[in-house]
Structure 1
């Protein structure tokens, strides 16, 4: 499309909204779908050109998974309103993916932990420390984000980890965090934090079944490697 052509200059049947109505959403390109979310372009670009520029900036859809409002607003033509619209659409998509359950999910192994968390954690650019709360039958009661950022003992404090478990009367917890590098090998601090939480759990009567580190298509289980319990 010529850079001076705006959406109003495109034949009606070729505009994203009209194409969606006629052919269905699945027939539209990613740029066209994003253009519909944006609704309007900028002073110098059509909405399709603006959508294409955003996708080109982040290269892959995965890189948009955890994008911030500030990162979006750094793109010329994207103000606060458009950044919020994009962020809201991404979050809505995440929630649709998560909205499954009729029956409670059960954790039986570190592989189950990996399967449960991987899609949510694989594209995160910071470390997220998670606590999975379990009942007496190892059904998942809840998933709580305890901290975001590089792990250290002051951030991952037993008080913060066990607070939601006590509140929800969990019988046990499994803790997990991601390594954005893709390598799930534990650091010395990862191991120390795990042992500290395990000891705190013994005092509280809440078992710490495992600490699973999520990498790229792989995981590391402290339990499997004999580092706890």
Structure 2
């Protein structure tokens, strides 16, 4: 079926205008970005095929793909790939808090900021979150990117952003590309090492958070020291 053969009330763009973006499925939103289909497949069918392709990982996985790789999917091409990647990146940035300086009262506050940032990453990234005495987040420092299974970090790199910001304390965080936030033995060893270094420097490490796909593990909240 050609898209033009659908009733006006079922066309994605018209539905968005009438009902709002939240009323549309992932495929309908993607179809609006793609604009055109390919031979033998209208744009909505093309979009449904792409959503099905990324069903297990979610569309956020596209962000971790080089533009050229995404463009090789039949019916996409460079222009459509650039449009979709730009839209996904804009959405990822919009999810990050912009209402002034975030304040971290609990591990969930940090996780809310970091989960969108880590979506689709194929490597582990190690972050340092320096905080003020009032728990205001001063910055997010991405200090290391490792392999799928481990990240190499050193106290020098970990505490440099905290010293530069005049932080009262810090939270450590890293993602698990597997999506499972359960900490490894290496994660526990890094936590012990950085807590010892923080005690010497007078900048306590108040938590280490492991970010999964949609959830997280907090060393402090789980009582692991």
TM-score (norm: length of structure 2) = 0.78
SS of 1:199 mapped into structure 2: helix
SS of 1:137 mapped into structure 2: coil
Residue in 2 that maps onto 1:99: 97
Residue in 1 that maps onto 2:146: 149
Deviations 1:12-57 (A, max 9, x none): 5643333433444344333222111112223443222221111111
Is this contact kept in 2: 1:127–1:148, CA < 8 A? yes
Is this contact kept in 1: 2:182–2:210, CA < 8 A? yes
Moved more, 114-123 or 188-197: 114-123
Which blocks of at least 5 consecutive residues in structure 1 are unaligned?
A: none
CA distance in 2, matches of 1:30, 1:186: 32
CA distance in 1, matches of 2:170, 2:189: 17
Aligned positions of 1:1-229 closer than 5 A:
1=1, 5=2, 7-8=3-4, 10=6, 14-59=10-55, 63-67=58-62, 68=65, 69-102=67-100, 104-107=102-105, 109-118=106-115, 120-121=117-118, 124-150=121-147, 152=150, 155-215=152-212, 217-221=215-219, 224-227=222-225
Is this contact kept in 1: 2:111–2:209, CA < 8 A? yes
Q: Could you tell me how far 1:128 is from its partner in structure 2?
A: 2.6
Aligned residues: 220
Q: Once superposed, what is the RMSD of the aligned Cα atoms? A: 3.1
TM-score (norm: length of structure 1) = 0.77
SS of 1:211 mapped into structure 2: strand
CA distance in 2, matches of 1:222, 1:24: 41
Larger Rg: 1
Deviations 1:103-137 (A, max 9, x none): 64133x44544455445547655423221110122
Is this contact kept in 2: 1:185–1:220, CA < 8 A? no
Which blocks of at least 5 consecutive residues in structure 2 are unaligned?
A: none
